[in-house]
C-alpha cells in the first residue's frame, strides 16, 4: 500500500510505516499534478502539512484514496467533512507540535520585551558606528516575570503556553468558548511537577487585564482580534499570533502599533501566506517568522510517529 507524504515526513515516521509494510513516497508533487500522480501510482494515503490542499475536487477525482492525513493541528487546507462523507479517514496530529509552538511564542515574547527583532536589524547596519546610540535605544526592556499573560484559546497549545508562563513567574489568564477550566501541569526536569488550575474568563476580561496576549484559535470566518479588540487592550500591550492566518485584522494591527496602543506584535502566521503584506514585513515593531511554529526536529519526529501509528491502525 502506497503513501504519498507530499509535504514530507520524518525519517522516524517513514521507518515505522516501512516496518509495517507500507511504501512511502516523499517526492513533492505540484498541486496541479497531484490528482494524476495519485491515480497513476495507486496511492492509498495522502499526507500533507500546510503547503498542499486536499479539496473536494481532488477527493472526487481520486477514488483510490482511503486516507488523508495532516501533519499538524489545523485542517483548513482539507475539506474534512466532505472527505469523511466519501468514506475517507481524515487524521491529524493535534498534540505533537504543541510544545514547539509554545516555545516559539516565548522566543517572540523575550525578543519583543528586549527589542531583539529590531536590534538584530540595526546592529549589522549601525553596530560599528552607533554602538552607544543603539545601547541607549534598547535600554528600556522589561521582564516577563510578574506580568500577566492572556491566552485566547485554551486547548493543547494554549495550555502548553500557560505551562511556560507559569514556570517563569507570570500570572496566566485565559479565555475559551468551550473550556471552563484546566489543570495545567508544569513538569520539572527532575520529574516532579506543579499543578495549577486555571479557570477561563470572558474575552473582554482577558483583553483588558493582559500585558501580553497569545492567540491559539483555529482558522475561522471572522477576525478574533479586530479594531474593537485592540481598543479593549491595555495601552502598551503586545500580541503574538502563532495560531492561524486571518484571525487578526492586520490593518487594525498596524494602526494599533502606529498609535502606541500596542508596544509590539509577533506574527508567525499571516492572512496572505505565502505573500505577507509588505507593511507587516517592514514594520519595526513586528517580530516575524515564516509559519515555523511546529518546525522543530522533535516536533517533526512526533508528528511522523503519530501519523504512522494512526495509519497503521486504520489501514493495516
Q: What pLDDT does residue 23 have?
A: 98
Same domain, 71 and 193: no
Give the residue-averaged pLDDT of 247-258. 98
Q: What is the pLDDT of residue 74?
A: 83
In this prediction, residue 193 carries a pLDDT of 96
Predicted pLDDT at 200 = 98
- Say which residues have a Cβ less than 8 Å from residue 188's Cβ, sequence separation at least 6: 194
Q: What pLDDT sits at residue 237?
A: 98
C-alpha cell, 129: 558606528
Instruction: Tell me what percent of the residues of the chain surpass a pLDDT of 70.
Output: 100
For 272, the domain range is: 98-288
What angle do the packed helices 98-113 and 116-126 form, to 10 degrees?
A: 60
Q: In this predicted model, what pLDDT tens digit does every residue of 214-242 receive, in sequence order?
A: 999 998 899 999 999 999 999 999 999 99
Does residue 124 share a domain with residue 254?
yes
Q: What is the pLDDT of residue 224?
A: 98
Q: Are residues 219 and 133 in the same domain?
A: yes
244 is catalytic: yes
* Pick from 265, 270, 161: nearest CA to 216: 161
Q: Is 108 a catalytic residue?
A: no
Region 74-102: mean pLDDT is: 95
Examine the domain organization and report whether 172 and 55 are in the same domain.
Answer: no
CATH number for the domain harbouring residue 193: 3.40.50.720
Q: Is the same domain home to 232 and 173?
A: yes
Together in a domain, 108 and 249: yes
Q: Which residues contact 164 (CB under 8 A, 6 or more apart)?
A: 102, 103, 105, 106
Q: Are 179 and 54 found together in one domain?
A: no
**Residues 166-178: pLDDT tens digits?**
999 999 999 999 9
Q: Is the pLDDT of residue 208 over 90?
A: yes
Give yes or no: residues 164 and 272 share one domain.
Answer: yes
**Structural domain total, the chain:** 2
Pairing of β 181-187 and β 193-199: antiparallel
Q: Pick the catalytic residue: 156, 283, 291, 302? A: 291
In the annotation, is 121 catalytic?
A: no
Query: 126 and 236 share a domain?
Result: yes
Cβ-count burial 52-83 (b if 16+ within 10 Å, e if not): bebeeebbeebeebbbbbbbbbbbebbbbeeb
122 lies in the same domain as 82: no
3-state helix, strand, coil in the chain (%, to 5): 40, 20, 40
pLDDT the model gives residue 112: 98
168 and 277 part of one domain: yes
Which of 126, 227, 273, 277 is labelled catalytic?
273
Catalytic residue among 49, 216, 244, 283: 244
* pLDDT per residue as tens digits for the range 284-294: 999 999 999 99
Kindly state whether residues 219 and 282 are assigned to the same domain: yes
Residue 152 pLDDT exceeds 90 = yes
Amino acid at each position: 500500500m502506497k503513501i504519498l507524504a507530499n509535504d514530507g515526513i520524518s525519517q522516524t515516521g517513514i521507518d515505522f510505516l516501512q516496518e509495517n509494510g507500507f511504501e512511502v513516497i516523499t517526492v513533492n508533487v505540484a498541486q496541479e499534478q497531484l490528482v494524476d500522480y495519485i491515480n497513476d501510482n495507486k496511492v492509498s494515503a495522502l499526507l500533507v502539512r500546510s503547503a498542499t490542499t486536499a479539496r473536494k475536487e481532488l477527493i472526487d477525482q481520486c477514488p483510490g484514496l482511503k486516507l488523508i492525513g495532516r501533519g499538524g493541528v489545523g485542517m483548513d487546507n482539507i475539506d474534512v467533512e466532505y472527505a469523511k462523507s466519501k468514506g475517507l479517514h481524515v487524521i491529524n496530529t493535534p498534540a505533537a507540535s504543541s510544545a514547539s509552538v509554545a516555545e516559539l511564542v516565548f522566543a517572540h515574547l523575550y525578543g519583543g520585551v528586549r527589542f531583539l527583532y529590531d536590534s538584530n536589524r540595526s546592529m549589522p547596519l549601525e553596530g560599528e558606528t552607533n554602538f552607544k546610540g543603539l545601547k541607549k535605544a534598547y535600554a528600556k526592556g522589561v521582564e516577563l516575570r510578574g506580568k500577566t499573560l492572556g491566552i485566547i484559546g485554551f486547548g493543547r497549545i494554549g495550555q502548553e503556553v500557560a505551562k511556560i508562563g507559569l514556570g517563569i513567574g507570570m500570572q496566566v489568564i485565559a479565555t475559551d468558548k468551550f473550556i471552563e477550566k484546566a489543570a495545567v501541569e508544569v513538569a520539572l526536569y527532575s520529574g516532579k511537577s506543579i499543578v495549577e488550575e486555571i479557570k477561563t474568563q470572558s474575552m473582554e476580561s482577558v483583553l483588558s487585564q493582559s500585558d501580553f496576549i497569545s492567540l491559539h484559535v483555529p482558522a475561522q470566518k471572522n477576525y478574533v482580534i479586530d479594531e474593537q479588540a485592540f481598543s479593549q487592550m491595555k495601552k502598551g500591550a503586545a500580541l503574538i499570533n502563532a495560531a492561524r492566518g486571518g484571525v487578526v485584522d492586520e490593518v487594525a494591527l498596524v494602526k494599533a502599533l502606529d498609535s502606541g496602543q500596542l508596544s509590539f506584535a509577533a506574527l508567525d502566521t499571516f492572512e496572505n501566506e505565502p505573500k505577507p503584506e509588505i507593511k507587516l514585513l517592514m514594520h519595526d515593531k513586528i517580530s516575524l517568522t515564516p509559519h515555523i511554529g511546529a518546525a522543530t526536529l522533535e516536533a517533526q519526529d512526533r508528528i511522523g510517529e503519530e501519523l504512522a501509528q494512526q495509519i497503521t491502525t486504520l489501514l493495516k
